[in-house]
């Protein structure tokens, strides 16, 4: 189970001590800021507006309450959250009853990209999280506009094997929506 992952954990990165840990409710503002700093996420409604805070708090509480989900953050030496991602363990009937590990919403502070943080996080997922959760397959989705991210995942051995589809149910209570389809 995701909840059984041994965290916190130091990650081997150059420079300072980096610590991978589970998100806690006090991380909401820094996580909102990480999402809002990304132009693609921001264009889909992720922002750091205080009015949205209750929705982010509720989402984080729901993730942390589910033993098959976790939201992880990477702290730098000063305790600042510099990266985040969500893991979901998905038991499946397909592939002879295999378990999949879904990696979602990977965000690294823009000033720290190309510093090896994303590679260290994904290697931890591949080498530690997947075996610990019994996952035979690690999957992720990446916005079609993220060409650099696609090349990054391919360098790590991920294969663009499927075409993804999403359907957005419009809601007056939801975040601002773009005029076109969301991917």
Annotate 66-104 with b (16+ C-beta within 10 A) or e (fewer). Answer: eebbbbbbbbbeeeebbbbbbbbbeeeeeeeeebbbbbe
The per-residue pLDDT string of the chain (183 residues; one tens digit each, 9 = 90 and over) reads 688 899 999 998 877 889 999 999 999 999 998 988 877 776 677 777 778 889 999 999 999 999 999 999 999 989 999 999 999 999 988 778 789 999 999 999 989 988 899 999 999 999 999 999 999 999 998 887 787 888 888 999 999 888 778 788 876 555 554 444 444
pTM of the model: 0.85
Domain that holds residue 68: 2-155
| Structural domain count of the chain | 1
CATH number at residue 105: 3.40.630.30
């Amino acid at each position: 189970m995701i909840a059984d992952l041994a965290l916190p954990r130091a990650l081997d990165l150059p420079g300072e001590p980096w610590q991978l840990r589970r998100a806690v409710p006090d991380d909401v503002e820094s996580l909102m800021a990480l999402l809002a700093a990304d132009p693609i996420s921001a264009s889909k409604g992720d922002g750091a507006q205080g009015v949205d805070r209750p929705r982010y708090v509720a989402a984080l509480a729901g993730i942390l309450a589910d033993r098959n989900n976790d939201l992880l953050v990477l702290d730098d030496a000063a305790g600042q959250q510099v990266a985040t991602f969500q893991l979901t363990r998905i038991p499946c009937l397909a592939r002879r009853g295999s378990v999949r590990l879904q990696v979602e919403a990977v965000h690294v502070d823009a000033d720290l990209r190309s510093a090896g943080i994303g590679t260290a996080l994904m290697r931890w997922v591949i080498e530690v999280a997947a075996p610990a959760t019994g996952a035979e397959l690690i999957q992720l989705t990446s916005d079609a506009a993220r060409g650099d991210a696609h090349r990054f995942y391919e360098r790590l051995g991920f294969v663009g094997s499927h075409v993804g589809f999403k359907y957005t149910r419009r809601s007056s209570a939801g975040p601002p929506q773009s005029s076109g389809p969301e991917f």
